[in-house]
């Protein structure tokens, strides 16, 4: 059977088998009197940012939240455009019937250096044909410390809109700090009025503090506990951000309301540790997962190991919301980024092992994982489309071998771009050996897959990262890579007879005493321990201390709540002593 027919048949089969690649809507509410520019497409042929930069939607140039100086304070925005000057962003407006363009203009507040800083100037143009432009607005010079400027530009009857940010100098070094921002950029109708109301159930931190202090250090239970958790959530994410999200879409509003009013869920989320990206991204991911899989959270059936499905699915959703707030990528190709909605369904299907008597992952341990522990499953450094393939390959072709040396020879003479791994004439050979069509594994140059490493070999990095991936896909258990002197190793999770988590060294050379951070541990460590200024050198062994705390989970959770309470009284030494 030829490659093309196999791919067509396998694609059809996978469409029937894996209907899980669903993308929950993040669109704004249906509205006829405004639309955000970041929600519609700009003309990529006519738009550009400064050399070495790109046009960013709803984030700044560092993939963080857009922030401007407003009324002498930092103001974060969940919507907007960022295009490093000199830059131009062109929109075709012919399909849109709006009267004005509005935005808060400025340079992102992260750019505070005065060294060779010439600032940015903004120009806004309209056109009938996209060639001849009429200037509608020009600004004074903005710096990262400048107050943002709200603009409202008439675009009636215009067919094109061009947003220009100029680096304000002819010198090559003039654009070092020119992070131009169009925050809350919108097209609006004449009758549009900005919604300045607040969502009542989202309160300020000061309001929560007043409520909590009225009950003055009572036992952390009941409504008092819920208020404490809500206060911590609002402090972590930001009051303005939560208000903006809740007003932006019903999906966000429903997700925030669910999280903030379900005490057990909120407790699990906060005890799960800081997001690998931002809290804003975490809430966005959580909204996608909650919107798509809300019915799973009502599944009160019991697994064969005595776990309520809804409890398991909640932990999976929360752990993914925290890990996928950053970019979870395939170690072999950083452009292949995991989708949390897809990954959730993959692990759900592996756990259910429908049509098979044998479990496909270690279900009993998987079900017992805390949110923090499960994060080290969900952030396994493999692309989504290879998870099921690797699980089945290990199980069926390698008899469950978990050592990476059972798959890869140690060698420095590898070359993963050889034509033999991508040529049409070799497809049937590789398909027969690695079952590519059965699992719809892409076969194209520039899209390397793990089986090519199996063929070519690797040094310690490829071996250990593969070992980590095997543990995360075949076992469904926590894993991550660590550094050792001139070496990459990995660590993997098991449990003792009492259900206590244990971290083990894989492809080990130097032991725990000389193990440091790499890959995900560079982003954050378990419990967020071992990342502060108090650590140095070979500090991966902090995960052993963190795991000891996870093994006493109820006590760990209560300790976290005591720290939340102490934060309320951080300026009251007498209360803190109590």
Q: What is the mean pLDDT of the chain?
A: 91
Using the Cα atoms of residue 425, residue 431, residue 436 and residue 439 in order, give the sign of their dihedral.
Answer: positive
For 277-302, how does the pLDDT look when each residue is reduced to its tens digit (9 = 90+)? 999 999 999 999 999 999 999 999 99
- For the segment 150-179, the average pLDDT, to the nearest whole number, is 89
List Cβ neighbours of 540 (8 Å cut-off, separation of 6 or more). 482, 483, 491, 512, 515, 516, 517, 521, 525, 530
15-29, 176-190, 219-233, 263-277: which range is least confident on average? 15-29
Residue 28 above 50 pLDDT?
no
Residue 6 above 70 pLDDT?
no
**H/E segment holding residue 165:** strand 160-166
More confident residue, 203 or 15: 203
With CA atoms as reference, report the closest residue to 486 among 514, 444, 463, 453: 514
What is the pLDDT, as a whole number, of residue 303?
97
Residue 8 above 60 pLDDT?
no
What is the pLDDT, as a whole number, of residue 172?
64
Residue 386 above 60 pLDDT?
yes
Residue 17 above 50 pLDDT?
no
Residue 13 above 60 pLDDT?
no
With CA atoms as reference, report the closest residue to 528 among 275, 357, 282: 275
List Cβ neighbours of 284 (8 Å cut-off, separation of 6 or more). 26, 245, 252, 325
What is the pLDDT, as a whole number, of residue 224?
95
Rounded Cα distance between 514 and 492, Å, is 17
Rounded Cα distance between 2 and 25, Å, is 38
With CA atoms as reference, report the closest residue to 23 among 374, 281, 282, 341: 341
Residue 258 above 80 pLDDT?
yes
What is the pLDDT, as a whole number, of residue 335?
83
Would you tell me the crossing angle of helices 340-352 and 371-378 to the nearest 10 degrees? 100
Residue in the structure block whose two tokens are 């496909």: 360
What is the pLDDT, as a whole number, of residue 174?
64
For 223-253, how does the pLDDT look when each residue is reduced to its tens digit (9 = 90+)? 999 999 999 999 999 999 999 999 999 999 9
What percentage of the chain exceeds 90 in pLDDT? 80
For 312-349, how does the pLDDT look when each residue is reduced to its tens digit (9 = 90+)? 999 999 999 999 998 888 888 888 899 999 999 999 99
Residue 162 above 80 pLDDT?
yes
38 falls in which pLDDT band (50, 70, 90)?
very high
10 Å Cβ neighbour count for 482? 29
- For the segment 366-375, the average pLDDT, to the nearest whole number, is 98
For 61-76, how does the pLDDT look when each residue is reduced to its tens digit (9 = 90+)? 988 889 999 999 999 9
Would you tell me the crossing angle of helices 263-271 and 222-237 to the nearest 10 degrees? 50
Residue 572 above 80 pLDDT?
no
Residue 12 above 80 pLDDT?
no
Residue 5 above 50 pLDDT?
no
166 falls in which pLDDT band (50, 70, 90)?
very high
Q: Which tokens in the block code for residue 501?
A: 């988590």
What is the pLDDT, as a whole number, of residue 575?
67
What percentage of the chain exceeds 70 in pLDDT? 93
10 Å Cβ neighbour count for 313? 21
For 116-148, how does the pLDDT look when each residue is reduced to its tens digit (9 = 90+)? 788 999 999 999 999 999 999 999 999 999 999
Would you tell me the crossing angle of helices 371-378 and 309-323 to the nearest 10 degrees? 60
Q: Which residues pair with 481 in a beta bridge?
A: 490
| Alpha helix positions (H), 353-449 | 363-368, 371-378, 387-397, 427-434
């Amino acid at each position: 059977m030829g490659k093309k027919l196999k791919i067509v048949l396998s694609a059809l089969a996978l469409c029937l088998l894996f209907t899980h690649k669903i993308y929950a809507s993040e669109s704004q509410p249906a509205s006829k009197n405004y639309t955000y520019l970041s929600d519609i497409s700009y003309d990529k042929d006519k738009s550009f940012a400064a050399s070495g930069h790109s046009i960013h939607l709803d984030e700044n140039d560092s993939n963080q939240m857009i922030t401007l100086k407003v009324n002498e304070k930092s103001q974060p925005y969940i919507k907007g455009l960022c295009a490093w000057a000199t830059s131009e962003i062109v929109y075709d407006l012919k399909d849109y019937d709006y009267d004005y363009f509005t935005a808060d203009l400025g340079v992102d507040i992260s750019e505070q250096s005065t060294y060779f800083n010439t600032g940015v100037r903004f120009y806004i143009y309209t056109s009938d044909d996209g060639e001849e432009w009429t200037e509608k607005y020009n600004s004074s010079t903005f710096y990262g410390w400048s107050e943002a400027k709200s603009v409202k530009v008439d675009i009636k009857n215009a067919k094109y809109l061009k947003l220009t940010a100029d680096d304000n100098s002819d010198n090559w070094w003039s654009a070092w700090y020119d992070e131009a921002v169009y925050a809350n950029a919108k097209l609006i109708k004449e009758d549009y009025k900005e919604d300045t109301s607040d969502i009542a159930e989202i309160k300020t931190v000061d309001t929560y503090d007043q409520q909590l202090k009225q009950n003055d250090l009572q036992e952390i239970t009941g409504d008092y506990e819920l208020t404490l958790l809500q206060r911590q959530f609002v402090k972590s994410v930001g009051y303005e951000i939560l208000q903006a999200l809740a007003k932006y879409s019903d999906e966000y509003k429903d997700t925030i309301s669910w999280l903030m009013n379900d005490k057990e869920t909120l407790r699990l989320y906060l005890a799960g540790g800081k997001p690998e990206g931002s809290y804003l991204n975490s809430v966005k991911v959580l909204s996608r997962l909650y919107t798509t899989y809300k019915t799973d959270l009502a599944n009160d059936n019991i697994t064969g190991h005595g776990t309520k499905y809804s409890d398991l699915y909640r932990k999976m959703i929360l752990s993914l919301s925290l890990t996928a707030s950053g970019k979870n990528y395939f170690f072999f190709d950083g452009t292949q980024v995991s989708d949390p909605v897809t990954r959730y369904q993959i692990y759900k299907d592996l756990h259910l092992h429908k049509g098979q008597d044998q479990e496909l992952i270690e279900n009993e341990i998987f079900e017992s994982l805390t949110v923090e522990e499960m994060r080290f499953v969900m952030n396994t450094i493999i692309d989504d489309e290879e998870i099921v393939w690797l699980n089945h390959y290990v199980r069926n072709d390698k008899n469950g071998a978990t050592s990476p040396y059972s798959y890869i020879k140690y060698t420095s003479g590898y070359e993963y771009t050889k034509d033999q791994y991508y040529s049409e004439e070799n497809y049937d050979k590789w398909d027969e050996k690695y079952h590519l069509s059965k699992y719809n594994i892409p076969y194209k140059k520039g899209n390397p897959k793990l089986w090519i490493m199996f063929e070519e070999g690797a040094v310690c990095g490829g071996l250990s990262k593969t070992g980590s991936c095997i543990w995360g896909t075949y076992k469904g258990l926590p894993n991550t890579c660590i550094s050792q002197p001139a070496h990459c190793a990995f660590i993997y999770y098991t449990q003792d007879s009492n259900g206590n988590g244990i971290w083990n060294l894989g492809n080990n050379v130097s032991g725990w005493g000389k193990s440091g951070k790499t890959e995900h541990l560079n982003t954050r460590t378990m419990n967020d321990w071992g990342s502060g200024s108090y650590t140095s050198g070979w500090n991966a062994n902090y995960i052993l201390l963190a795991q000891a705390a996870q093994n006493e989970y109820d006590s760990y959770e209560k300790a976290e709540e005591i720290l939340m309470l102490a934060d309320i009284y951080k300026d009251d030494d007498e209360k803190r002593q109590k």
